[in-house]
């Protein structure tokens, strides 16, 4: 299983940047996890978008879905060009709520919507996928994803505050992609559905994850500062997200 970081910034992309999106490739599946602002531009460095097998969306905040509309439009044009079968819409797996957002996911012949909830279990090619609702504020669901393939486990933590119960979901992760929205110096006094870099590292350490990829970062954070803060609280391998970073499990 290979993960490519297509976007990792939040709440908006910096120069030549992109907000969250991750390409996961196995022998028989090419999956896009979230589709933020600028993600399609980076995806095209690695593969044509019409060869994707599925899109999975954690939740409907703009930083995670900004490029979905242009993905739909692009797929439709590639169907007209003959690059993709018009009878094969791209499956989009995403929360059912809020309705106003979910209703926009079916698009002509280009995309088909399949609602997910915490009990949903998917198999796409050689990847088994489970979902966990995270502590992310406003009442609408946000789902983390656990992807297992050929004995390797990738957990994508989506957006999450400290109230998420990861026990039994992320413990055996070979790689935990976890948000570290704040540095200790930028962390607000009250919790707001996000983690700091330190909290992400402590979480991964406590769960015994083999490696951690810190993501969901403000674009002006210096990579060395994020790495220093994370590695002080985690003994396993700690990566800091950057555009185009590839990790193989
Ligand atoms: Zn969010
Ligand atoms: Zn976000």
pLDDT for 138 beyond 80: no
193 CA distance to ligand 1 centroid (A)? 8
247 contact partners, CB below 8 Å, separation of at least 6: 2, 3, 175, 211, 213, 239
Ligand located closest to 192 CA = 1
Spatial separation of the C-alpha atoms in residues 241 and 9, rounded to whole Å: 9
Backbone angles phi, psi at 139, to 5 degrees: 100, -30
Ligand 1 centre distance from Cα of residue 217 (Å) = 12
Q: Hey, which residues does 22 pair with through a beta bridge?
A: 5, 33
Distance 86 CA to ligand 2 centre (A): 32
Closest CA to 104 of 132, 71, 153: 71
pLDDT tens digits for 17-53? 999 999 999 999 999 999 999 999 999 999 999 999 9
Residue 192 pLDDT = 83
Q: How far is CA 209 from CA 127, 136, 193, 240, in A?
A: 19, 22, 22, 15
Block residue for tokens 């489970």: 130
Ligand in closest contact with the CA of 136: 1
What is the per-residue pLDDT across 151-199, written as a single tens digit (0 to 9) for each? Answer: 999 999 999 999 999 999 999 899 999 999 999 999 998 878 999 999 9
Return d(Cα 139, Cα 143) in angstroms, integer. 12
For residue 172, the model assigns a pLDDT of 81
What's the pLDDT tens digit per position in 208-227? 999 999 999 999 999 999 99
Calculate how far, in angstroms, residue 221's C-alpha sits from the geometric centre of ligand 2. Answer: 16
- Predicted pLDDT at 228: 96
* Ligand closest to CA 143: 1
Q: Is residue 103 predicted with pLDDT exceeding 90?
A: yes
Query: From the CA of 19, which ligand is nearest?
Result: 2
> For the segment 6-19, what is each residue's pLDDT rounded down to a tens digit?
999 999 999 999 99
Q: What is the pTM of this model?
A: 0.97
Name the percent of the chain lying above pLDDT 90. 95
The total number of structural domains that make up the chain: 1
CATH number at residue 197: 3.60.15.10
- pLDDT confidence of residue 80: 98
Q: Which domain holds residue 45?
A: 2-248
**Could you give the CA distance from residue 175 to residue 249 in angstroms, rounded to a whole number?**
7
SS3 of 78, please? Answer: helix
* Nearest ligand to residue 66 Cα: 2
**In this predicted model, which residue has the larger pLDDT, 144 or 138?**
144
Question: Ligand 1 is a single-atom ion; what residues have CB below 5 A from it?
Answer: 61, 159
Under 8 Å between Cβ of 193 and 187:
no
Ligand that comes closest to the CA of residue 179: 2
């Amino acid at each position: 299983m290979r993960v490519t970081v297509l976007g990792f910034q939040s709440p908006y992309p910096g120069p030549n940047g992109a907000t969250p999106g991750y390409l996961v490739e196995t022998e028989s599946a090419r999956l896009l996890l979230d589709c933020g602002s600028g993600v399609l531009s980076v995806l095209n460095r690695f593969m044509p978008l019409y060869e994707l097998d599925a899109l999975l969306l954690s939740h409907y905040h703009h930083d995670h879905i900004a490029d979905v509309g242009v993905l739909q439009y692009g797929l439709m044009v590639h169907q007209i060009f003959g690059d993709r079968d018009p009878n094969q819409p791209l499956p989009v797996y995403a929360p059912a709520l809020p309705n106003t957002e979910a209703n926009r996911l079916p698009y002509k012949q280009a995309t088909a919507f399949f609602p997910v909830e915490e009990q949903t279990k998917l198999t796409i090619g050689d990847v088994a996928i489970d979902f966990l609702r995270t502590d992310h504020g406003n009442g609408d669901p946000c789902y983390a994803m656990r992807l297992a393939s050929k004995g390797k486990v990738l957990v994508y933590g989506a957006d999450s505050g400290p109230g998420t119960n990861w026990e039994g979901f992320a413990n055996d992760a070979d790689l935990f992609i976890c948000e570290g929205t704040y540095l200790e110096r930028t962390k607000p006094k009250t919790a707001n559905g996000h983690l700091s870099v330190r909290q992400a590292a402590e979480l991964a350490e406590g769960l015994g994850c083999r490696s951690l990829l810190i993501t969901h970062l403000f674009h002006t954070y210096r990579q060395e500062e994020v790495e220093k803060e994370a590695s002080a609280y985690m003994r396993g391998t700690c990566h800091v997200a950057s555009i185009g970073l590839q990790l193989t499990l």
